[in-house]
A and B are shown apart, each in its own frame.
Chain A
């Protein structure tokens, strides 16, 4: 297996969406190729960092405007 194949299959590998035979071939390659191992590991860390990041608090003015617009709409529905 070539390093380029690891890159091509990287997304499915990280999403555990590969068939077991291809997955085993990739893992065999990763056992021997340090560069590919680092790329796979840092790509996995990239996803984790983003998906585990907290969204920033809503700016106060943004939150006020949102809730005012909602209140206005809800009042209209209730009327």
Chain B
């Protein structure tokens, strides 16, 4: 690396961002009773919403149910969506609630999002190895997808869910805090730990010289 200054995180425009201009038109049409407009929205977001509910619940059946209930609730409450946020952000919040209900039902004593988080010395990374450029390109799409699903699944729920909303769904810190009923500092501390833990776990796959 020639400079200490890093470029901002390079986020590829999400399909939902590329087409966001017509998202509000589709929502308006769906609110006016155009069922095919709502079906278009479902088709656009079903994969992302299923990944979200799958990553939160870590259970295929619960993830399917949560996704289904999220779309049904979104349709049912469409008239109350006022467009203060993007439709997708609103849909994510509904899906998170459904997925959390499933997770809490299955693991009632395990899931507490607001418990104290240790921010002590153990956060300083132990393994410091360079990955080189474009480490993900060393894996086929399916293999990479399996790796990412596994490593995020190994995180404890409070960290997994905050990372999912903030860094995968790209909600703002404030939107993430509101969706999960957490304070902004609590979101930030969980996000930091999640990012560091994922970095450490991915190190075994991406470090330079890893035999692929």
With a CB–CB cut-off of 8 A, which chain B residues contact A65?
64, 68
Majority SS of interface residues in chain B? helix
How long is the Cα–Cα vector from A61 to B47 in the complex, in angstroms? 13
* CA distance in complex: A39, B127 (Å): 9
Contact B51 A10 (CB under 8 A): no
| Contact A50 to B135, CB < 8 A, known contacts A43-B195, A55-B51 | no
Q: Are B4 and A38 in contact (CB under 8 A)?
A: no
Does B130 sit within 8 A of A, measured CB to CB? yes
Q: Which residues of A contact B6 (CB under 8 A)?
A: 30, 40-41, 44
Q: How many residues of B contact A (CB 8 A)?
A: 57
Is A70's CB under 8 angstroms from B75's CB? yes
Instruction: List chain A residues, Cβ under 8 A from B1.
Output: 37, 41
Q: Which of A7-55 contact B (CB under 8 A)?
A: 7-8, 10-12, 14-16, 27-32, 35, 37-55
Give A contacts to B, CB under 8 Å.
Answer: 3-4, 7-8, 10-12, 14-16, 27-32, 35, 37-58, 62-63, 65-67, 69-70, 73-74, 77-78
Interface of B toward A, CB cutoff 8 Å:
1, 3-6, 8-12, 35, 38-39, 42, 46-48, 50-51, 64, 67-68, 71-72, 75-76, 119, 121, 123-125, 128-131, 135-136, 141, 144-145, 148, 152, 163, 167-168, 170, 173, 188, 191-192, 195-196, 198-199, 202-203, 206
